[in-house]
Amino acid sequence: MRLSKMVIQDRNMKFGIETAGSLMSNDFITLDVNQTVDEAIDYLRKNLYQREGIHYVYILNQDRALVGVATIRELLSARGDEIIANVMKTKLKSVTTTLDQEKVAQLFQETDLVTIPVIAESGHLLGVIHIDQILDVIEQEGTEDIYRMASIKSDQLGNQNLLTATITLLYRKRIAWLVVLVFMNIFSGAGIATYEDLIESNVALVFFLPLLVDSGGNAGAQSATLVIRAMALGEIRIKDWFRMIGKETVISALLGFTMALAVSIVGLYRGGVEIAFIVALTMVFVVMIGSIIGLSLPFIFSKMKMDPATASGPLITSICDIVGVFIYFGVASAFITL
């Protein structure tokens, strides 16, 4: 059962936006822990008519607190004189009204449940969240993450999409971040200017500059995408940061050496052995450092209580470009005598 916009707005005001409380529905059935199975089935016959999405019945004690759950199939297959307390399962997943909707979606994915109860601190059942509501949440959260990776907040577009939004609106939502990145890339230009004499004496170095800095940015963006996705699914957490850095170091080194081998062939052709060695060594460094930057930024943003998706592709590639310029010409100056 999907909630109306008015109901959602009321619950957003009461429980907070994007919380379990704002999603819950009163479309559920409860039974008393002391009822028999026959009494329960008779009650269901009277109350299930034209009600959709009822897969579980929730069992309450004398204080009306939630103590168990049973599926309709389990009730139908039990003896009629059996007490509900002997049929129900007492180990059940539940959420509180303040839990973030993204964590609720993760719980649905982990448990394969179709309905999860929402309870108060006292244990009283307040409502339930059905899987069809969570499908909307998953779509919404995925959209938000994709927009953030493009440095755009999805709520900035309101109810409009890419097709219906005006040119003015899309321009305003995109220009600020792009201007910030322009000024960040000034550091890349400053790095190039620092090694102006080196470049003048070895023009062949310029040929490999875009290739190298782009490789670092690509590797970083790739790492960030994998980490952000794993965080969204709850597969990794902040405590896994150092473990992931160790793993990424090995992987990025293998990637860097493989890419270095490929680019060294071009280096031999364009500039000889010395240029080939400098380009290959730089490739290893920029891929490894770019990968570690891309992996670390989502952890850093998460530690700062910000959405990991804020560590977007444009931000990572800009940082990797700056770092790549200084690595490349730093390595070149170490091996080339002016």
The token pair that represents 123 in the structure block? 């244990």
What is the average pLDDT score of the chain? 84
Instruction: Supply the pLDDT for residue 179.
Output: 83
According to DSSP H, which parts of 155-203 are helical? Answer: 167-184, 186-194, 196-201
Residue among 27, 226, 34, 268 nearest 131 (CA): 27
Please tell me the pTM assigned to this model: 0.65
124: three-class secondary structure by DSSP:
strand
Residue among 318, 297, 292 nearest 308 (CA): 297
Question: Residue 2 pLDDT more than 80?
Answer: no
* Band of pLDDT at residue 199, cut at 50, 70 and 90: confident
* Band of pLDDT at residue 202, cut at 50, 70 and 90: confident
* Ordered DSSP codes for 192-203: HHHTHHHHHH-T
* Ordered DSSP codes for 38-106: HHHHHHHHHH-TT--S--EEEEE-TTSBEEEEEEHHHHHHS-TT-BHHHHSBS----EETTSBHHHHHH
- Tens digit of each residue's pLDDT (9 = 90 or more) over 225-277: 888 888 877 788 888 999 999 999 999 999 999 999 999 998 888 778 888 99
Mean pLDDT of all residues in 292-311:
83
Instruction: Supply the pLDDT for residue 12.
Output: 53
Instruction: Supply the pLDDT for residue 31.
Output: 93
Radius of gyration of the chain (CA): 29
The token pair that represents 228 in the structure block? 């952000």
264 or 178, which is more confident = 264
Please classify residue 88 by burial: count the beta carbons closer than 10 Å to its beta carbon, then call 0-12 exposed, 13-18 middle and 19+ buried.
Answer: buried
Instruction: Supply the pLDDT for residue 146.
Output: 66
The CATH-assigned architecture of domain 1-137 is Roll (3.10)
CB neighbourhood size of 161 (10 A):
9
Question: Residue 89 pLDDT more than 70?
Answer: yes
- Tens digit of each residue's pLDDT (9 = 90 or more) over 122-172: 889 999 998 888 887 777 777 666 666 665 655 555 566 667 777 887 787
CATH classification code of 167-335: 1.10.357.20
* Band of pLDDT at residue 100, cut at 50, 70 and 90: confident
Per domain, the residue ranges of the chain are 1-137, 167-335
CB neighbourhood size of 80 (10 A):
12
